[in-house]
């Protein structure tokens, strides 16, 4: 393999990883606060893809983008309100089944509304413009994804570390009940967490689908699971961890595809999951927790 091909593959991997990182943040934040795998997160990402198809059909891209971001955020928050909020005190298995139910519902709803046939993803001319960099050639979106991911993560970290809202989020994820005794509005904090997660999923979806060209009702389920693995890999609850995990999964997967093992590129993710859970269950950046009787 020549150096150019190698660098080209690296670039693809990093770009894919950036999109994964944005989705993984949604998982890690929700898990940090609710201790819930939001199975529906991958499907929110898929719905954002469909929103983009329809928004682009009626608006120019600079209006379509904010519309998609807002609609996806509203979707994420309303899912939390309808499906998770009534189950705050229920056993964890019920909440998880509810999350699976939402995922099932969104997939079936997408099949019903948009049919099971893949739909062409609209092209944003600015993002698709091909640039040459030495021997490398890639569309603008490939270069943009990792940069945008890092900027967004920086902003998010600032929000969490230096604002009152961020402090509330940290408090809720540390100890749910004490936080509410301290006068923190739990429901509002959780809603904001879902809003941020869905917003980042929408950004990730635009970056991811611009490279993939098509959306179909199940296009969210596998990336969703992979991003969850990324979140676990980095240490669930930790945002830098999710980003690192996202990049590693993205690069690893691209490397396997480049090596001609594309059948096993999906399996690779789950092997990573098992290995990390056995070797270091709290992930790379995770905090150690002890079980109390």
Partner 1 sequence: MGPNRMINKEKRRNCICTLILIAAVLGICGFLEANKYSYSYAISIIERSMVYAVVAVSMNLVNGFTGLFSLGQAGFMALGAYVTAIFTIPVSQRASVYYISGINPVIAGIQLPIIVALILGGLVAAGVAALIGFPVLRLKSDYLAIATLGFAEIIRACIAAPQFDTITNGSYGLKSIPGFTNIFQPLALSVICIGLMVLLINSSYGRMFKAVREDEIAAEAMGINLFKTKELSFVISSFFAGVSGGMLAMFMRSIDSKTFQVALTYDILLIVVIGGIGSVTGSVIGAFIVTAGREILRFFDEPLMLGGVQVPLFRPGFRMVIFSILLMIVVLFYRKGLMGTNEFSWNGIFDFFKHPFKKKSKKMEGKA
Interface ranges with partner 1 (CB under 8 A): 35-37, 83, 86-87, 90, 92-94, 96-98, 100-105, 107-109, 111-113, 115-116, 221-222, 225, 228-229, 232, 263-264, 266-267, 269-271, 273-274, 277-278, 281, 293
Residue 51 vs 233, nearer CB to partner 1: 233
Residue 36 vs 127, nearer CB to partner 1: 36
Compute the distance between CA of residue 242 and CA of residue 233 in angstroms, rounded to an integer.
7
Segments in 163-185 forming alpha helices (H): 164-174, 176-181
Compute the distance between CA of residue 28 and CA of residue 182 in angstroms, rounded to an integer.
24
All residues at 6 or more sequence positions from 147 whose CB lies less than 8 Å from its CB, including other chains: none
Q: Which of 133, 149, 156, 162 is nearest to 203 (CA)?
A: 149
Residue 27 vs 156, nearer CB to partner 1: 27
**Residue 269 C-beta: closest distance to partner 1, Å:** 7
Residue 60 vs 281, nearer CB to partner 1: 281
Compute the distance between CA of residue 78 and CA of residue 63 in angstroms, rounded to an integer.
23
Residue 109 vs 171, nearer CB to partner 1: 109
**Residue 217 C-beta: closest distance to partner 1, Å:** 9
Query: With the C-alpha atoms ordered 40, 106, 200, 264, is the resulting torsion angle positive or negative?
Result: positive
Beta strand spans in 99-227 (E): 119-120, 130-133, 136-139, 214-215
**Which tokens is 43 given?**
């499907």
Residue 125 vs 260, nearer CB to partner 1: 260
The H helix count followed by the E strand count for the chain is 12, 4
**Residue 274 C-beta: closest distance to partner 1, Å:** 5
C-beta of residue 30 within 8 angstroms of C-beta of residue 102: no
**Residue 228 C-beta: closest distance to partner 1, Å:** 6
Residue 123 vs 266, nearer CB to partner 1: 266
Residue 180 vs 282, nearer CB to partner 1: 282
**Residue 90 C-beta: closest distance to partner 1, Å:** 7
**Residue 118 C-beta: closest distance to partner 1, Å:** 15
C-beta of residue 53 within 8 angstroms of C-beta of residue 122: yes
DSSP 288: P
Compute the distance between CA of residue 158 and CA of residue 111 in angstroms, rounded to an integer.
39
**Residue 262 C-beta: closest distance to partner 1, Å:** 10
**Residue 93 C-beta: closest distance to partner 1, Å:** 6
Query: With the C-alpha atoms ordered 279, 281, 287, 290, is the resulting torsion angle positive or negative?
Result: negative
């Amino acid at each position: 393999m020549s150096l150019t091909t190698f660098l080209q593959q690296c670039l693809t991997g990093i770009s894919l990883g950036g999109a994964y990182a944005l989705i993984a943040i949604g998982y890690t934040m929700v898990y940090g606060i609710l201790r819930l795998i939001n199975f529906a997160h991958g499907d929110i990402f898929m719905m954002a893809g469909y929103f983009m198809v329809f928004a682009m059909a009626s608006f120019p891209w600079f209006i379509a983008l904010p519309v998609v971001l807002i609609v996806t955020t509203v979707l994420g928050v309303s899912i939390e309100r309808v499906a998770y909020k009534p189950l705050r005190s229920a056993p964890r298995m019920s909440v998880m089944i509810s999350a699976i139910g939402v995922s099932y519902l969104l997939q079936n709803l997408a099949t019903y509304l948009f049919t099971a046939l893949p739909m062409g993803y609209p092209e944003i001319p600015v993002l698709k413009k091909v640039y040459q960099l030495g021997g490398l050639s890639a569309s603008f979106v490939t270069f943009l994804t990792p940069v945008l991911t890092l900027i967004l993560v920086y902003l998010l970290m600032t929000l969490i570390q230096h604002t009152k809202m961020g402090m509330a989020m940290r408090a809720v994820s540390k100890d749910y009940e004490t936080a509410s005794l301290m006068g923190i509005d739990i429901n509002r904090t959780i809603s904001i967490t879902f809003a941020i997660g869905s917003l980042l999923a929408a950004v990730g979806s635009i970056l991811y689908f611009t490279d993939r060209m098509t959306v179909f009702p199940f296009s969210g389920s596998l990336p969703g699971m992979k991003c969850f693995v990324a979140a676990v890999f980095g240490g669930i609850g930790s945002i830098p961890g999710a980003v690192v995990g996202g990049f590693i999964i993205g690069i690893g997967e691209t490397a396997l595809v480049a090596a001609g093992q594309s059948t096993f590129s999906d399996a690779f993710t789950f092997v990573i999951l098992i290995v990390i859970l056995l070797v270091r269950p709290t992930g790379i950046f995770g905090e150690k927790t002890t079980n109390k009787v």
